Every structure is written in structure tokens, then in C-alpha cells.
Amino acid sequence: MDYFHAREHLADLTKLLTLVLDDPGAFEADLVDQLDLGHTAAIAAAVDRLDLSDHAPDLARPAATEVAYFTTNHHRMQYADFRANGYYIGSGPVEAACNTIVKQRAKRAGMHWTIHGLDPVLALRTLHQSRRDDLLWPTTTSPTPQT
């Protein structure tokens, strides 16, 4: 789950709740801190504490929809763990890889592919572009036979 899209959802949630918040900026900053730690339940709890059903019932349903985005995708939003393991948390590198792997090879003028035909080509291209061709074609270190 792209971190920056999740941040946009937090901004949307804060904007939605602006009328019932004392300090929208501080509220959003706290939610961002919770998101950074992967604490999506804390995001839900912060919204629950606002008691929207009593104070702003017209905001309860849209706020619940935004909160569901975080609670449903909890396992995809463990950004602290992802960062600690060296993973990217944004979609930019993945989108760039799709461009490099797929678009440059499969979407040239006049090309028409079936999934059955393209899948093996993309698998080979992925291995080649990630410099892992040796998984398919191991090099031998044995000496060349003398003739």
C-alpha cells in the first residue's frame, strides 16, 4: 500500500472532520505519527474519540469509510517494519520498474501479445534487468578442456 496515498487519505479524513476538530493540524500530525508506526487501530481510536454519532452524525458514515481504509489494510501499512527491512514504501520504484520491464519491451509499435506469450518474456526480462540471469544460465568456473 503506497505510503503517500495513505497520507492523502489522512488529509482527506482531517479535511472531512475540520468542523469538529479544535486543531486540525495537530490532529493530522498525530495520525501521521500513528501511520508511520503502523498503528492503524490508533487512527480508528482517534476518530472514535470524537464521538461523531452524537456531535456530527452526518460525518459519521464518511469518516467510517476513511477509517475502514486503514483498518482493512492494516497488514499493508506496517511502514516502520517495511523501512526497517529496507523496503520501499512508495509506489514510485514499482511504477518505474513496470515502465522499464514491461513498457520498453512489450509496448512497442506493432507489438501484439497474448498473456501466454508475454509472461515468459517478462520473466526473462525481469531476471536480466535485475542482474539475476545466472539463475537460469549458471556460469561454470571449470577450466576449458585442452585440445
Mean per-residue pLDDT of the chain:
88
User: Is the confidence at residue 121, as pLDDT, over 90?
Assistant: no
In this structure, the answer to whether residues 40 and 98 fall within a common structural domain is no
Residue range(s) defining the domain that contains residue 50: 3-84
If one counts the domains in the chain, the total is 2
Name the band, by pLDDT with cuts 50, 70 and 90, for residue 144: low
- Residue 143 forms part of a structural domain: no
- Residue 105 forms part of a structural domain: yes
Model confidence pLDDT, tens digit, residues 9-43: 999 999 999 999 999 999 999 999 999 999 999 99
User: Is the confidence at residue 57, as pLDDT, over 80?
Assistant: yes
In whole angstroms, how far apart are CA 60 and each of 5, 37, 57, 64, 145? 22, 25, 5, 6, 78
